[in-house]
Structures are given as structure tokens and as C-alpha cells.
Chains A and B, each alone.
Chain A
Amino acid sequence: MTGGPDVGPDPYGLQQRLVDFVTALRTKGIMVGTGETVDAAEAMTRLGLDERSILREGLAGTLTRKHSQRETFDEVFDIYFPPRVGRPRSAEQVPADFDVETLRDMLVETLAVADLDALGELAEIAVDRFGEIGGDPAGWSAKQTLDRVQPQNLLARTMGLRGDDDAVVELGGVSPRDQVRDLIGRFRERVEDEARRRTSETRGRERMVLTAVQAQTEHVDFLSANAEQLEEMRRGVRALARRLATRLSVRRRRSHRNTIDIRRTMRKSMSTGGTPIDLVFAKPRPSRPDLVLLCDVSSSVSGFSGFTMLLVQAMKNQFKKVKVYAFVNAMADVTELISVDGDEDGAGLQARILEQAHVQHGTSSSDYGAAFAEFVARDLESIGSRSSVLILGDARTNYREPGLDDLREIRARSNRTFWLNPEQENIWGTGDSAAFDYADVVEMHECRSVEQLGEFVSRLLPA
């Protein structure tokens, strides 16, 4: 029992708050209709405000239609129905000379006894004390707070204080070290929630939703996305490409600076009698990979394939060379057809491919076996020993011959071959899906949303 949301004593009526909440959800891609808003209002009346978690579940039941919307829903809910407002009591009681070292000491003790309530209070204090950033109106930054508190560096001290033996793990249990890691993760989340909560009070809820809540399309299922959502995703494709590129360049810089090649340092030090004096830094990793994309563009998965092709195209300069093949039941090289600059709408792309490339003959249903065979017979040369091959598709063969041998050939010729399947893993292998047969040959990943795709693509590239 956690109590109700703190909605008073502001003059802002509850109905208005609900309408604003719904509007905010819509800006994040959760398309709530009027009928549902009325239901939500009625739900609010019947459930009352005594119990915040019950209000949240009730509003989620009336306003969301899919589980994939839930994360966004919760983040927006936190902003419109915060657990409390204002400066937390915990922070008011803290003495003036309280510094970051004191907080860290307290944090270690709290982590050691796994006291979640105290952890929450420390997060409030930390944000209050160390998170404030200038500006008018003032704001609070989770990043600044965490940079100063550095909770991730408290693991060893906490383990020392706990004094238990990390090697003792109960069957199915979690090791003490992982428990502490998990608690540190929670502390971080609390800090993020608290910073968001306080900033939304001074800077306004709308603005907070705009900047601090991830757009829903990042989580939308490719397979169930409607035209509007797909459009949204495509509009975001360049931004995503840019984000991934930045993340990669940071990672590269960091890794090049820090990687010491232990073996070579040791070998070199042999000449100085074993004392390693000259650190040998690792050579930058091998150059950018070639990428070969084989995309099922049949209608069942075209949204997913279309988006991925655009993303890869937008990230072209991260790769040495990109080749894109598309197929329904015939394989065609479509590299030239994809341009992010031309028209960014994927519906146009899909039409262009179907029109201008020979990707199907006869029926319009996919035939993986036939497409792979054609590729192996004609285009295998495009794969080199440095190439990463990425296959996109739902592995639904329409009960046709899956072409496992050809797939093996593709894998053998490439450096690495992956398969991204936009279907939820728990329905792989059902009906005409040959997912498990293919997964025996190449590494298959579930890839249902922009978010998962982004994760995957950035792992694909060398650090």
C-alpha cells in the first residue's frame, strides 16, 4: 500500500489533468480515442485516488491497448500523477554541511542491508543536493547527480561491509554481488525518477514529456504497427542513425585509449627482464565490416524490412560497403533503389522495389528456399570473408522447402551471419515458421522494435 498520487492542492481540476494526460500520451504515439478517455474518467471516479497503483492499473486498462505501450504509459503517468510534489521531506531534514562523501557512506550502509525505502530517500536527497542545475526555472539532472555520487564504484565497499562469501549461492539464487549490482541499478532508477519528477514541476509537464519520455514508436511492434506509426518510425530513422553513430564513436574513442594489449606488453617486457615497462596499446580493431542484407519484403514483414533497409542506408558510412538484396520468392539486388534522401516514406520504397526489382514471380508469397538458392547460384561472390550477412524475415516458409543447405553456404562464406526475426520468440516454430531450423544454422535474434534493432545494429559494429 503506497498511498495516492499527490494531486492537490493545485487548482488544476482532475478532469483537466486527465485530458492533458491523454494528450501527452498521444504525442508519444499512444493513440487514445475519445471513448476511451470517457471510460478513463469513469474509471477514475469509481477507483478514487486513495491508491496510486490502483489508479495506474485502472487507467492503463482503459487507455492502453497493447503491452508494448505500457512502458511509455508509466513514464507519462509518473509525470501527471506524481507520488508527491515539492521538495521531499527527507531532503529538508538534511544538515547544511552534508557532502557527497557522507551520502556515499550512507549509501554503502543502505546497500549492504538492502533497505529499499532508505535507498529511495537517499536518491531524493542526492538529487536535491547534487542534481540541481541552473537555469530559469531550475531543473534537476539525474546525470549530474550520478556523476557526483558514482554509485557504481561502491560495489567493492558494499561487499566488504556485507562480509559474506560471494561463492555461496543458493540453488537458483542470485549471488550477493549481483544482488548489490541490482540494488545500485535501482538507486540509479530512483534518481532518474526523482529528477524527472522535480523538473516537471518547475518546467512544466508538457515539456517534460517531450524531452524525457521516449517516443512510443521505439517500442512499437514492427508487425502490428499501423501506417501512421511506421511513418513516425521512418521519420526517426536519421535521428536513430545519428544516435547510434555517436554512441559508436564514443565507444571507439574509449576503447582505443584504454585497451592495453597484455600479451604484447609481456612479450616486449621479456627484453627488460620481465618488468613490463612499455605498455603496448591494442591496435585499432580491424576496419569496418562489409554488410550484406537479405530482406524478405513480402507484405507480412515489409514494415520491418523497409525500416531496416533505411536504417542501414542511413548508416552507410559506418560500413565499408553495403549491399542490399530483397526477395519474396526471387532474389534481386536493390542497393541502388534505397535512398534515404529521396523519399523517406517506406511505402514508396516498398512499391518501388516490387515494381522495379525482380523479387517475385507468380505468387506473392515468400519462398525462402527458392530465394536462397538463387542467391547462392548467382550472387554468392558478393559475400567476402570480412562480410557480415544479415537476414531479415519471419522465417515463414509457407511450408516450402527451407533451403537450409544454401543458408549453410552463405554462412560458411561470410565472417558472421545473423538472422533478425520480427516475430515474438514464443511463436517461432508454430505453423509454417521454420525459425528453429534456421536458428540451428545461424544465430537468430528476436527483433520486434526499433529499440531492439538499434541495440543489435550497434553491437554489430566493431568498437
Chain B
Amino acid sequence: MTRTMPFASVADVSERLAAVGYLPSDAIATTVFLASELGKPLLIEGPAGVGKTALAQAVSDATGSPLVRLQCYEGVDEARALYEWNHAKQLLRITASKDESWDETRADIFSEEFLLARPLLTAIRNEEPTVLLIDETDKADIEIEGLLLEVLGDFQITIPEMGTVRARHRPFVVLTSNASRELSEALRRRCIFLHVDYPDSDLEERIVQAKVPGLEHSLTKSIVRVINALRELPLRKAPSVSETIDWANTLLALGAVELDEDTMRDSLGVILKHRSDQEKAQKLLDMESALAR
């Protein structure tokens, strides 16, 4: 199994991620570099919409390696994560076999042709270096962690009917979690840990400029400032980077040149989805405009 270490340095990570539209903080660039150098999975935790999933995509883009994604959910199992046999096709094959011995048939139906590879197997079998994204790991039941530990431990998978598949290249593995459930210590121990939080204002402004290039710089600044103020409020769902970008796009489409009260009021729905959150934000705005008067 070869190890691919596509990055020359932390600075190289930053530059190449930026070149594909992802602007990493120091913490992000450093841990991506280390995960790649040490060949360990990168475990990313943090609130919704701060760019956890997008980071895996960006590493894939920046290194030209295909991205294989295992989206976790409650009840995801081995058959969905690893592989399963195509039963329908196997049965068809059995009915079609006329003059073969059963041994021949058995050998035949448990072969490549009837195997449905799921993300973990796909990533391991890939001929080229691969980015394997195990997204929202916390949504899966705890049992799946046993499977992950096995696969991420030695990057090989045993299929009883066919033998053991070893990875040609060690994939670059990213696990993400929203911490809706604590992941096990055993899994954590195996990973490089990265907590991603909302970016600081400076970085967020640069992200907006990169994603919404047409926007006036002063408007970008105002947007980020208001978003940051909103994140201070006790909201049910604080606006994330995705909302910042959506809002910037909306304002650009509306042809807004500055963020006045009316514009804000009219577009609040883009950044805050809950009614009660919108009301809280409205109160803040009223208070501030009262102050400003």
C-alpha cells in the first residue's frame, strides 16, 4: 500500500485549497497537512455549515483525487457502507444455469460481476489515490464505528466468498461530525482532530469575496459584521458560512449597494430560518437603529 503525500508544506496546502475556492484557516491547513503526512484520518467537528464537507471536496479538487463519500444516517449498515451482493442478479444467474455443476455456479455468482461495492470498498479498491469522506459520522449508530475502526485500521476488507482486498493507496480519510452523539474514544484516538468554528471576520470576508466575486467590498464587510452580531444572539440556529454566502448572493441579485434597514428586513429570511429567530434579530435591529438615531 503506497502512501501519497501530495502536499509539500502547510503553506502549500493553503495555496492549493485556495486555488480551488476553499480558504482554510491555519488550523485547517495544518491538520490537513498532518493527516496527509502521518496517513491518519482527519476527524472534523464543528457547527453546521462551517465548511466541513466542503473541505473534503476541496482536498479532492486540489489533489485531483476522486472523492468517495459515505453519507451516514441512522440505520446505515454494512450493506450500505461496505458492499452487498446483487441478489436479484444472482438469482437470475442461477435460473439460467443449465449444464453447470453447483460448484461452478457458486464460484460464478460470488464474483466481481455480482458484487455491489459501497463507498468504503470503492475507496479501498480504487486504482488511484482517493479522498474518502465519511460524512456526518455522528448520525450513524454506534455499531458502525466498529466497522470503521476495522477498515481505517489496516485499510483492508475481507469478503468471505472472494478473499481479502487491500488498498493500493492509502486513502485520505475525512470524518465529519456535528457532535449530536459523542464518537467513541477508540475512533477519536485514531484520528487527527480538528475543530472548525465560524471563521474570524477577516477570513469570512475573504470567503465571501471568493464565492461572490461581484459584491462591493464595503457591502461584504457589512454583511460579515451583521452575521457576527447575529451569532452572538441566543438563536435556535445561528447563521453559518452557507447563510453568509446565500445572503451575499441574494443581495447581489437584488442589486443592493448598501445594507440599510429595509434591505435587511426584507432578506432576513435568507439567513434565519426559524420564525422566533427572525423576531429576535428584528428586536436587535430596532434597538440598534434606535441607538443610531
Contact = CB atoms under 8 A, between A and B. Distances in A.
Contact of A169 (B30, B179, B288): B288
Interface stretch (A53-61, A95-103, A340-348, A401-409): A53-61
Contacts of A53: 26
A62 B34 contact: yes
Interface residues of B, number: 43
B27 A57 contact: yes
A426 B231 CA distance: 13
Contacts of B205: none
Interface in A213-270: 221, 223-224, 226
B110 interface: no
Contact of B222 (A57, A66, A172): A172
B225 A170 contact: yes
Contacts of B47: 426
Given A47-B30, A169-B288, A172-B228, A424 B179 contact: yes
Contacts of B230: 172
Interface stretch (A10-18, A34-42, A372-380): A34-42
A47 B10 contact: yes
A280 B79 CA distance: 78
B1 interface: no
A9 interface: no
A277 interface: no
Interface string B203-240: 00000000000000000001001111110001011000
A167 B225 CA distance: 18
Nearest to A223: B182
Consensus secondary structure, chain A interface: helix
Given A169-B288, A172-B228, A172-B229, A65 B34 contact: no
A175 B288 CA distance: 10
Given A61-B194, A62-B192, A171 B38 contact: no
A33 B193 contact: no
B52 to A, nearest CB: 13
B37 interface: yes
Interface of B: 10, 26-27, 30-31, 33-35, 37-38, 40, 45, 47-48, 179-180, 182, 185, 188-189, 192-195, 222, 225-230, 234, 236-237, 259-261, 264, 285, 288-289, 291-292
16 contacts: A39-B38, A39-B192, A61-B30, A61-B192, A62-B34, A62-B38, A65-B185, A65-B193, A66-B188, A171-B222, A171-B264, A172-B226, A223-B182, A424-B179, A427-B180, A430-B180
